[in-house]
């Protein structure tokens, strides 16, 4: 109990034995191992950001909340702890909300904490400063949303947010902290007791034995089996078990974009370079942490050998996923295995060993040979394109340099966004380690670039290479100041072709305005980095690009390389041109 006395000395004692909302938020986060906050100070959380820093947390302060939100979400993906983003009310909250929705869509654990205005005024709509019913707005975009009104409930609120973000399928959680909460005082002892250290927030979920048996039997029946590794598999941090399953079975695999490097892309069982051959030809497909959404053409249609866009290709699917609702979302899943990936993969491996010992039948040679032939052809085609050295540079000649630098620095984290800049990088730049490729994910969202880059550098301490389309970079470009302020080892490479997709489009009306798809020609993006004390380089040849990247990695200085490429290089929407509505298409 607090000792409240009237003497001046007693008053000090009474204060020392009281706590308040500010302190309880800090204590609750620390108690749960949250050591970094990504945010942007302002009313009503300015003092909270100061106190968080004073309290020993690392506070990374951004220039726009959306970037702080993306940073938090990818920190969650990388670490398996919820990434926390802190914003002001209404507009700041809304800026962070896009990142929260993106985190939920991508299954990244994240908590958006926003200060909010006075409930009494907000609820009567009497016109408060930054008035908004944030909880209601957040709810449809989050896995869960909570509000704390009393300081004594801060411990519960933080615990619920952590558990909701991490347990089962991870996602984004909103935590609303009204301004009035922070100065509320509480007896220090009662405050301490109100805090909760969350025990086992992402409990293992063991799959049912019969589900594992069903999956095993289907795998055994396969003549052309295929494994697809998704970013859920990368998130699960079950790298050794996944590798053992792939190598024990000898089954070829295709990594989804953010699962690249889970096994090195140079692994002989990787069928990435034969993607459009293996999807339609496979007869049994084992999905590990990958959804049959648009990125996998919904498991049907021509990509899978179906006759028309809606036709099933005939594949049987085994799906390992933590969400029991995921199976059958698009096509029939014959063997759903529900549980956490580590436990499911271990159970499948154990069943394989129990059934076949070390004599598991490898996939038929005809299947493996056919894949190897396709791979060889595609790899040779790519090698030819990479060897060309046109003037000006194109995507291939520039990315050939990035490919070499990533190979020489496999610990480096690659952030990637754009349309062509994304698609070419994905297929050209091999990854060698898990969770090193961070990109636009399930939504194909533009704007993750600098937020992801900051978070990747902060949570890992590793070198970050951010390969950005010039358009994509624009969404978060101001965060180069953040990169410089925290002296982060981030090397931004802008593949600059003067526009969205490409830079040679003209105004079809003949008017004076430029086409909506082009930017200022010859823009000097590197000056932006120089403005804040970083290193800026304009590179017009692969040799210049290589020198600049090598120096950035050697020095670990914030660096922005404006890699000037042919403005005629690039197709509309990269490899997803088919998603553009066309006048000729039937609805
Ligand atoms: C892959 N490939 C290779 C290799 N790896 N060739 C040689 N060597 C290696 N190592 C080949 C592979 O076999 C494919 O050729 C091709 O490269 C492309 O591979 P991949 O894996 O990228 O496949 P694909 O068909 O592009 O994948 C489909 C997809 C992908 C939907 C999963 O396109 C994707 O992730 N897209 C995300 C797009 C996105 O989000 N864009 C941002 C929005 S743009 P073939 O011969 O086998 O086919 C935007 O905002 O608006 O436009 C907008
Ligand atoms: P990709 O885009 O790479 O195909 P998706 O985001 O579509 O990947 O799929 C990821 C899947 O992984 C989601 O369905 C999610 O429920 C699942 N998942 C995430 N974490 C785990 C985990 N620890 N164990 C099992 N499944 C998981």
Q: Which ligand is nearest to the CA of 376?
A: 1
What digits encode the pLDDT tens for the residues 130-149? 999 999 999 999 999 999 99
CA of 32 to the centre of ligand 1 (A): 39
Hey, CA dihedral for 242, 246, 249, 251, is it positive or negative?
positive
Asked if 561 and 495 count as a contact pair (C-beta separation under 8 A), the reply is: no
3-state secondary structure at position 336: strand
Structure tokens, 418: 């754009």
Asked if 400 and 428 count as a contact pair (C-beta separation under 8 A), the reply is: yes
Structure tokens, 498: 């003067």
Burial classification of residue 516, based on how many CB atoms lie within 10 Å of its CB (0-12 exposed, 13-18 middle, 19 or more buried)? exposed
Q: What dihedral angle (degrees, nearest 10) is formed by the CA atoms of 580, 582, 585, 587? A: 70
Distance separating alpha carbons of residues 544 and 72, to the nearest angstrom: 34
CA of 382 to the centre of ligand 1 (A): 13
Distance separating alpha carbons of residues 187 and 349, to the nearest angstrom: 53
Put simply, whether the predicted model's pTM sits higher than 0.85 gets the answer yes
The predicted pLDDT at position 358 comes to 83
Distance separating alpha carbons of residues 397 and 390, to the nearest angstrom: 7
Ligand 2 atom at minimal distance to the Cα of residue 230: 3
Asked if 76 and 82 count as a contact pair (C-beta separation under 8 A), the reply is: yes
Distance separating alpha carbons of residues 306 and 280, to the nearest angstrom: 8
CA of 243 to the centre of ligand 2 (A): 17
The predicted pLDDT at position 305 comes to 97
* Distance linking the first and last C-alpha atoms of the chain: 70
Positions of the chain with pLDDT under 70:
1-16, 584-587
Ligand 2 neighbour 295 (Cβ under 6 A): yes
DSSP secondary structure code for residue 3 in this structure = -
Which residue's CA is the closest to the ligand 1 atom numbered 22?
427
The predicted pLDDT at position 8 comes to 44
Ligand 2 neighbour 434 (Cβ under 6 A): no
Q: How far is CA 170 from CA 177, 233, 420, in A?
A: 22, 13, 30
């Amino acid at each position: 109990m607090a000792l409240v006395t009237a003497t001046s000395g007693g008053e000090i004692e009474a204060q020392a034995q009281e706590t308040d909302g500010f302190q309880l938020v800090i204590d609750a986060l620390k108690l749960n191992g949250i050591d970094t906050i990504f945010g942007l100070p302002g009313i009503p959380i300015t003092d909270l950001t100061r106190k968080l820093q004073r309290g020993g947390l690392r506070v990374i302060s951004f220039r726009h909340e959306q970037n702080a939100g993306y940073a938090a979400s990818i920190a969650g993906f990388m670490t398996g702890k919820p990434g926390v983003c802190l914003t002001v009310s209404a507009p700041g909250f809304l800026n962070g909300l896009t990142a929260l929705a993106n985190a939920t869509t991508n299954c990244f654990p994240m908590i958006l904490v926003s200060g909010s205005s006075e409930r009494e005024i907000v609820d009567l709509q009497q016109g408060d400063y930054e008035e908004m019913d944030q909880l209601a707005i957040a709810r449809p975009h989050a896995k869960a949303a909570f509000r704390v009104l009393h300081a004594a409930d801060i411990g519960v609120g933080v615990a619920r947010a952590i558990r909701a973000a991490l347990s089962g399928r991870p996602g984004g959680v909103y935590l609303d902290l009204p301004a009035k909460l922070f100065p509320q005082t509480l007896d220090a002892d009662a405050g301490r007791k109100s805090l909760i250290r969350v025990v086992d927030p992402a409990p293992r979920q063991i799959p049912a034995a019969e589900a594992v048996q069903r999956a095993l039997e289907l795998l055994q029946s396969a003549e052309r089996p295929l494994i697809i590794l998704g970013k859920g598999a990368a998130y699960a941090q079950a790298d050794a078990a996944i590798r053992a399953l792939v190598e024990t079975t000898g089954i070829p695999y295709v990594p989804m974009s953010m699962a690249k490097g889970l096994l090195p892309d140079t692994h002989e069982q990787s069928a990435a370079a034969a993607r459009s051959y293996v999807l339609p030809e496979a007869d049994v497909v084992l999905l590990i942490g990958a959804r049959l959404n648009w990125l996998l053409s919904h498991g049907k249609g021509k990509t899978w050998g179906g006759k028309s866009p809606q036709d099933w290709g005939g594949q049987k699917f085994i799906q390992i996923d933590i969400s029991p609702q995921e199976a059958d979302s698009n096509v029939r899943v014959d063997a759903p295995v529900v549980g956490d990936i580590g436990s499911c993969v271990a159970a499948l491996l154990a069943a394989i060993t129990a059934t076949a010992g070390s004599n598991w039948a490898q996939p038929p040679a005809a299947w493996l040979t056919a894949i190897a032939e396709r791979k060889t052809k595609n790899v040779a085609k790519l090698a030819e394109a990479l060897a060309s050295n046109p003037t000006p540079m194109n995507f291939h000649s520039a990315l050939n340099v990035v490919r070499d630098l990533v190979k020489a620095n496999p610990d480096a984290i690659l952030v990637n966004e754009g349309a062509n800049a994304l698609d070419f990088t994905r297929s050209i730049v091999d990854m060698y380690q898990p969770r090193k490729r961070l990109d636009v994910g399930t939504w194909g969202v533009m704007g993750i670039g600098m937020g992801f880059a900051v978070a990747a550098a902060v949570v890992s301490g590793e070198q970050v290479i951010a390969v950005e389309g010039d358009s994509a970079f624009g969404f978060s470009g101001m965060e180069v100041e953040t990169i410089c302020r925290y002296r982060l080892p981030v090397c931004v490479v802008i593949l600059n072709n003067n526009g969205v997709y490409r830079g040679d489009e003209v105004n079809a009306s003949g008017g004076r305005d430029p086409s909506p798809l082009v930017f200022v020609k010859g823009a000097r993006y590197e000056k932006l980095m120089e403005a804040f004390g970083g290193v800026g380089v304009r590179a017009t040849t692969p040799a210049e690009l290589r020198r600049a990247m090598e120096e950035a990695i050697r020095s670990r200085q914030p660096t922005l390389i404006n890699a000037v490429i042919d403005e005629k290089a690039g197709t509309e929407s990269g490899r997803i041109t088919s998603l553009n509505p066309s006048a000729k298409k039937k609805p």
